[in-house]
Structure 1
Amino acid sequence: MNAAPDILCIGSVLWDIIGRSPVAMRLGSDVPGRITRLPGGVAMNIAMTLARFGMRPALLSVVGRDPAGEELTAACARLGLITDHLYRSDDLPTDQYTAIEGANGLIAAIADAHSLEVAGDRILRPLSDGSLGAPGAPWEGLIALDGNLTTRLLADIAASPLFSMADLRVAPASPGKADRLSVLMTHPRATLYVNLEEAGILARRSFRDASEAAHALLERGAARVLVTNGGKECAEGTRGGGVIADSPPPVLVTRVTGAGDTFMAAHIAAERQGAGRSAALSLALQAAATYVSGEIGA
């Protein structure tokens, strides 16, 4: 692809294997449902949504040269994503994620992102070799960064001059990896996208609602945060600008994997198109609600 990207999506690009059932499930449930395999990963989900909003995302990640990787790269290209800057490994297998969802939400999931962790800073070479940036001439645009990267690599990114001019949009891959974002908490150019549980992990306390969490994260030094809370009120807080809140429209939830990534991407796209704080939050909540209702194809 020859088009220049208008945002870089850095993090996990893998295959999602999702089993969904229309009935409520518990430990040990054995129920009928559907199993799908589709391109996924936090960086990938964000990129796919950005492409639907007319943006040109480039992926920075690792994808193996195994059959799964060849198929995944071709799928990315068909979706309009720039794959020129992927690190293609001969030795590392393509990562994958498996989840089980019932009518009562996510039951369990396992993320196998070992290749991304092993690849480390090799996925960032385009930011220093002149492809997308170089020492003394860092990337100055948007970057969506996900928490599947190791704590060490995230710490390096937080201190790196290669990211000093970027508009960093950061999301944890899951509550289990939320603490990795602590190294980016006080980054002056970072916007953190977290859910209520992840906000509590970062702040090391629990919160009643998203607005309380947003205030607390700002007090801990965050420049900007967005805190979601499922179908309940969500909040956006900006240092010096206070906290605003809005609620998503009520919908019938048919899927949950990827909802947070869709919210983040829709918010980025709305701001890219010139929407103000309130409008961008509202548009992002609408996009996420449409996604979980199943009205947008996976």
Structure 2
Amino acid sequence: MTAPSAPLVLCIGAVLWDVIGRSPTRMAPGADVPGRIRHVPGGVALNVAAALAARGRAAAVLGAVGRDPEGEALLAAIRQAGVGIDWIHRDAGLPTDVYMAIEDTEGLIAAIADAHSLEAAGEAVLAPLRDGRLGSARSPWRGAVVVDGNLTTAQLSAIAGDPALAAADLRVVPASPGKAERLAPLIGPAHVTLYLNRAEAETLAGHPCASAAEAAAAVIARGAARVLVTDGARPAACAARGAEVLTCQPPAVSIARVTGAGDCFLAAHYVAEAAGQDRAAALAAAVAAAAAHVAGS
């Protein structure tokens, strides 16, 4: 049985340090400019969990953190943010993962995600959902679970077919266009909602799309049950089997940051739905939250 103190939302995937360099001006390839560099807790799973906690929702992360000084500092920061860390996998032989990105006034220039420790941890990351601490095949987890594409294809395939998660409300996000195809095992099940940007949706659709609405419809056509697609400053879309495609135009904002906007979108959408809001209202809430994040709020 799941313990009464278990979190409402489990977030599985990257738990790492974000190193984000931002230029106050537009950058050209090869540019060397002054700016600011932030070193903050990050990773898709952690970003979503922190955004949920900030909105009053209990959340915990399942991921891999090294037993190095960086890992100890990271766990302390996560705990301070109000996110549960009781089930994080620790391995003395693995370093704490890192994500590095460069942004300018137009958005993201480039990024590298070093999530090798998460990948190396493999099935150990999912152990609490199988050994009775959070759930098991006999007593599956029945709450919401956020899954990010920093997990390997093998890990994602295991999640798709795991009886311990068969009753869960799965919210899935790729982490990047280059990792979107990893989500293939999770396309199809009725309890899965996909959160994508247009480039990620195009990867899953297998062809370019002119808008988020077109991309969302294409992913549904591939077999997905429900999908939400963002497209920067252009309208976002929500599509589901047998339902009309909804769209919502983001408000115009000045770009202060971009990393983590999609994670805020997911968290706000989940919270709105959990509060009983309908599809259109939940989409609007998610769009507004992402825009506020980009604006630096």
The bucket for the TM-score relative to the shorter chain is: over 0.9
Match of 2:55 in 1: 53
**1:67-99 Cα shifts (integer Å, max 9, x gaps):** 000010111111000100101111111000111
Q: What is the SS of the residue equivalent to 2:234?
A: coil
4+ residue runs of structure 1 moved beyond 2 angstroms?
A: none
- Higher mean C-alpha deviation, range 239-248 or range 47-56: 239-248
Match of 2:211 in 1: 209
Alpha carbons 1:147, 1:177 under 8 Å: kept? yes
2:284 to 249, 274, 282: 282
Distance 1:103 1:66 in 2: 35
Q: 1:4: Cα distance to partner?
A: 2.4
Partner AA of 2:22 in structure 1: R
Distance 1:3 1:159 in 2: 26
Alpha carbons 1:26, 1:107 under 8 Å: kept? no
2:40 to 33, 38, 41: 38
**1:104-161 Cα shifts (integer Å, max 9, x gaps):** 2111111100000000110111101111101211101100000000011111111111
Match of 1:84 in 2: 86
Structure 2: unaligned runs, 5 residues or longer: none
Partner AA of 1:92 in structure 2: L
Distance 2:181 2:28 in 1: 28
Distance 1:159 1:133 in 2: 15
Distance 2:159 2:136 in 1: 14
Match of 2:174 in 1: 172
Structure 1: unaligned runs, 5 residues or longer: none
Partner AA of 1:178 in structure 2: A
Does the alignment pair 1:224 with 2:226? yes
Q: Structure 1-normalised TM-score? A: 0.97
Match of 2:197 in 1: 195
Partner AA of 1:168 in structure 2: L
Distance 1:119 1:280 in 2: 35
Q: Structure 2-normalised TM-score? A: 0.97
**1:21-43 Cα shifts (integer Å, max 9, x gaps):** 11000111011100010000000
Q: What is the SS of the residue equivalent to 1:233?
A: strand
Distance 1:5 1:175 in 2: 30
Percent identity (aligned): 54
1:238 to 234, 237, 240: 240
Distance 1:26 1:116 in 2: 33
Alpha carbons 2:106, 2:255 under 8 Å: kept? no
**1:211-253 Cα shifts (integer Å, max 9, x gaps):** 1111111111110000100010110011122211111111111
Aligned length: 294
Match of 2:144 in 1: 142
1:27 to 26, 29, 32: 29
Match of 2:113 in 1: 111
Partner AA of 2:150 in structure 1: N
Partner AA of 1:182 in structure 2: A
Match of 2:249 in 1: 247
Match of 1:4 in 2: 6
Distance 1:47 1:221 in 2: 28
